A and B are shown apart, each in its own frame.
Chain A
């Protein structure tokens, strides 16, 4: 990769954050991890990542609210967002999609390679996993 692609991971579960960070970093991405929605919004504005992986169940502010705020701020509105959650309720899925999430991944069904593939798809890169 000529220019390093930056990914923001908004995820409160440290075990999962570390798993995904490891894999994405291993595949050559620069990974920022935010443990809650507030921090995620600050990071998103400060670093303008190429992609955000967003968890839905977060402390203090729900993932859907975070997504709304990202969309409401012109500085972060264009950033592609993929929802990664273990809450695969149908209405959450449709709400996420209507708020402009590109994809709705269920963590338990998504191994790190698939997450990396999603990152490659939405950032237009070719990760080592797909290569």
Chain B
């Protein structure tokens, strides 16, 4: 009997359909169904042969549904059956009569095999070996056709291949799932682990779970020993205390290749190849799998999973390596983080020491300035005292030239006194006990009292007047305001010609109080204005330049004003005079400072007088 083209086509298309199936159960069901359809057998059974086990997978009866059997027999059962034995041995299809007549049958199968007239066994190959058998039986006395069996064999071979692919795919999928699980678990740890002891405890417990092991430990190179971390999962403290070996001993065995060669290592208790040096690593366990634990910077140690009931397989190794990589990454980032924070702490400490030293130096400097200026005041007092008595006649009649000289000397002694006073104020400015204390202060009253006292003591002939038509209250420190207005006024007097007018005007603006001190002096050039408020810093050759009369006064005034949230600014016309403006906030520093500091002097001075 020959098969037509249509039949060939049907076989091929069936095979193609079968190969598209990825579910192993589906493949097996289809294959036994196909066996019935292809040969007209009463029953078709699929068995597999794997590592000494003869396994009945699926079976289907004519007119019925394929059923999964899943029963396993020792391979000796197949060996007892001549047909089976022959098919397995030759890899070729074998036919014969009733099963029962061929040899001993398994007691369980007795009934099912009774009455069978024809049997065919089609071996299905996986590579060179027979991996499965299709067993066909028929009760009618009508032999199987060789062509049908041949077609069935070809499709069956493909089906076995499809089965293997499906199984592999399943394995890959499972591996992917496990890998993903491992990465997920470890990355979750990364988010919550913030100290290292916790790290090894959590990680080893996760690794044990992922590798299907009872226990797991990180062994870390520490000094000249390789030791299990004390919180390894699945060990008692007593066991852990003993889990340490000298590096020299560890490196004599296969561990060298794990630590430095990146290899993995499996251990089975009692196996012949057991490396003697490994027994400390093995602890009291019966098997383990060790993989390298290393960062990009080098080896840290090894990661070991212990006691897998099924033995550690390829996939377990893969999972372990993945876990080791991921946990090393987490560990590395923690170490880096700790290094950074240690560095920050060190840096912070250095800054604190430095700032304490600076504060101490600052305090010493300010103390020295205070002491020096107090000490200088005594000789100044004495010089002024005698000079004053020379000029006021107490010491008797003087020759006119001596009298004039005494007056000049007196002027110079006053200059020294002013400088010393400014030094003292500068020193006090940096004193914490002279900190600015602001309160609601009547600026107009302070201005009046300063002008009054200056008018009395001024030996010059300038006309000093105050324009303060209305009360003007600012948040300020009255002592500072007095000092500032005093400084500005004394400058104005100094630079005014004899008989010139000096005007102090006080205005209340919406946000601030302004005090103008205007003179009709020589004015100040733009170039000079730029360095007017700087203490002594006038470039590299500061010492070589003449200190003009303003000295520290303007610097101090501005510093004091800013301490109170205000400022001192200046406008000047060369040859016509200058106006220094003190601005002080009307509200407390916190909410008014921006407004005042940010207000350009031009705008401020064009605001109508309040």
Tell me the A residues contacting B by CB distance below 8 Å: 13, 15-16, 19-20, 23, 26, 57, 86-87, 90, 107-108, 110-113, 129
Contacts and interface: CB of A to CB of B under 8 A. Distances in A.
B436 to A, nearest CB: 13
What 3 pairs between A and B have smallest CB-CB spacing?
Answer: A111-B388, A86-B377, A107-B381
Given A112-B388, A112-B394, A113-B388, A15 B374 contact: no
B586 interface: no
B388 A108 contact: no
A26 B421 CA distance: 30
Nearest to B386: A19
Given A15-B379, A23-B394, A90-B479, A112 B374 contact: no
Nearest to A91: B433
Contacts of B382: 15-16, 19
A130 to B, nearest CB: 12
Contacts of A16: 378, 381-382, 385
The B interface, classified by DSSP as helix, strand, loop or mixed, is: helix
Given A111-B384, A113-B394, A13 B389 contact: no
Contacts of A90: 479
Contact of A108 (B380, B386, B394): B380
Interface string B377-420: 11111101110110010100000000000000000000001001
Contacts, number: 49
A3 B380 CA distance: 34
Nearest to B428: A89
A57 B8 CA distance: 127
A110 B386 CA distance: 12
A108 B384 contact: yes
Given A87-B374, A112-B389, 19 more contacts: A15-B379, A16-B381, A16-B382, A16-B385, A19-B382, A19-B386, A23-B394, A86-B374, A86-B377, A86-B381, A90-B479, A108-B381, A108-B417, A108-B420, A110-B381, A112-B388, A113-B392, A113-B394, A129-B392
Contacts of A108: 377, 380-381, 384, 417, 420-421
A19 B388 CA distance: 11
The A interface, classified by DSSP as helix, strand, loop or mixed, is: helix
B389 A86 contact: no
A127 B384 CA distance: 20
A29 to B, nearest CB: 14
A86 B276 CA distance: 92
A118 B471 CA distance: 35
A13 B385 contact: no
A25 to B, nearest CB: 11
A111 B383 CA distance: 10
A104 to B, nearest CB: 15
20 contacts: A13-B378, A16-B381, A16-B382, A16-B385, A19-B381, A19-B382, A19-B386, A20-B385, A107-B378, A107-B381, A108-B380, A108-B417, A108-B420, A111-B385, A111-B388, A111-B389, A112-B394, A113-B389, A113-B392, A129-B392
Contacts of B377: 86, 107-108
Contacts of A113: 388-389, 392, 394
Nearest to B414: A108
Given A87-B374, A113-B394, A23 B380 contact: no
A7 to B, nearest CB: 16
A4 B385 CA distance: 24
Query: Which of B382, B388, B479 has most chain A Cβ within 10 Å?
Result: B382
A117 to B, nearest CB: 12
A16 B375 CA distance: 12
A112 B479 contact: no
Nearest to A15: B382
B269 to A, nearest CB: 87
Nearest to B416: A108
A110 B388 CA distance: 10
Query: Which of A90, A110, A111 has most chain B Cβ within 10 Å?
Result: A111
Nearest to B375: A86
Contacts of A23: 385, 389, 394
A114 to B, nearest CB: 9
Contacts of B378: 13, 15-16, 86, 107
Nearest to B373: A86
Contacts of B394: 23, 26, 112-113, 129
Contacts of A107: 377-378, 381
B502 to A, nearest CB: 21
A44 to B, nearest CB: 23
B367 to A, nearest CB: 14
Nearest to A114: B388
A20 B382 CA distance: 9
B452 to A, nearest CB: 16
B243 to A, nearest CB: 72
